[in-house]
Amino acid sequence: MPRLQPYTLILLLIISLPALANRFANVEINATPLAEDLYMLTGSGGNMAALVSDDEVILIDAQFAELADKINAKLVELSDGKALGTLINTHLHADHVNGNSALKPKRIVAHANVLKRLSADESFPRAGLPTETFKTQLSLNLSGQTIRLEYLPPSHTDGDIIVWFEDKNVLHMGDMMFEGRFPFIDLNNGGSVRGYIANVAYVLANIDNDTKVIPGHGELTDKAGLQRFHQMMVKTLAIVEQQQAKGLTNEQIVEAGLGEEWQNWHWNFITEQRWINTLLQAEPLTQ
């Protein structure tokens, strides 16, 4: 293949820009009230949450840079003009951190592994790197509003945190939950199938039937919804392990599928085939 000259590359970029812009042209940022001064925000990418304090707005996740103006406009609307002060990233994926620098928060908080991995990505804007990190837990007291950030062992990636709005009985799961669909487990960035399942079980043991659960993707849910998600993972992993015990090859297991019960969990990014291939890479059970 001939090497493209700089002018050709620039021309191709110019041609592609309208398509990139159009991807977000009709996206709206919508807010769902969850409790006093707390909202779930949707747009394009991972679900966000916004908490309005006396002095600032605290935002969980950032979606895409192209949506920064729309996100900031929604935050101004919800807060009567307060500025975005604290941005918290639940993990490193682009649909949760791409907007970091464009949103221009005063500080960005994330797990230490998120800073490590984003710093290694030369294409990621330096202005969007986390400015404050932690390793296990971090409590933020913001003008009377308390948020607890908790690191979970490797599962979706090796840098996932969940965000507890304890006074309001609301939890932001980040991509530790894909509501009603097969999850993406990023094995290339420290993910773990069994770790993911164990972490969801841990969360279930620490919430009640009234807890509002914000998933990384999908509709707002609750403990019952998280239980359904957990059972899906447990049962589909068991199906794959049973097929392995029978001596079927990976190709045969993929071809056999998971059965009718789980057909509705398929979606455009994590198809049934891709989910099975993820389950096939689950770590062996320790004795």
151, two tokens: 């690191």
Predicted confidence at residue 13, as pLDDT, reads 43
Predicted confidence at residue 2, as pLDDT, reads 45
Predicted confidence at residue 20, as pLDDT, reads 52
Alpha helices in 26-176 (DSSP H): 68-79, 94-97, 100-103, 112-119
Instruction: Please report, rounded to a whole number, the percentage of residues in the chain having pLDDT higher than 90.
Output: 85
Q: How far apart are the first and last CA of the chain?
A: 52
- In 10 A of CB 61, how many CB atoms? 28
pLDDT band at 16 (very low <50, low <70, confident <90, very high): very low
- From 3.40.50.300, 3.20.20.80, 3.60.15.10, 3.90.1720.10, which CATH number describes the 27-235 domain? 3.60.15.10
229-264 burial by CB neighbour count: b if 16+ within 10 A, else e? bbebbeebbebbeebeeeeeeeeebbeeebeeebee
Residue 44 has pLDDT above 70, yes or no: yes
Q: In what order do the strands lie in the sheet with 38-42?
A: 30-35, 38-42, 48-52, 57-60, 84-88, 107-111, 132-134
Q: What does pLDDT average to over the chain?
A: 92
Q: By mean pLDDT, which of 68-77, 81-90, 138-147 is the weakest?
A: 138-147
Residue 7 has pLDDT above 70, yes or no: no
- 169: phi > 0 → left, psi -120 to 50 → alpha, else beta; which? left
225, two tokens: 């919804």
Output 264-273 pairs: Cβ under 8 A, ≥24 positions apart: 264/180, 265/180, 265/181, 265/182, 265/232, 266/181, 266/182, 267/181, 267/182, 269/184, 270/178, 270/181, 270/182, 270/183, 270/184, 271/182, 272/182
- Angle value at C-alpha 99, between 98 and 104, nearest 5 degrees: 140
pLDDT band at 286 (very low <50, low <70, confident <90, very high): low
Mean pLDDT of 102-116: 97
CA distance 64 to 93: 10
> pLDDT tens digits for 162-183?
999 999 999 999 999 999 999 9
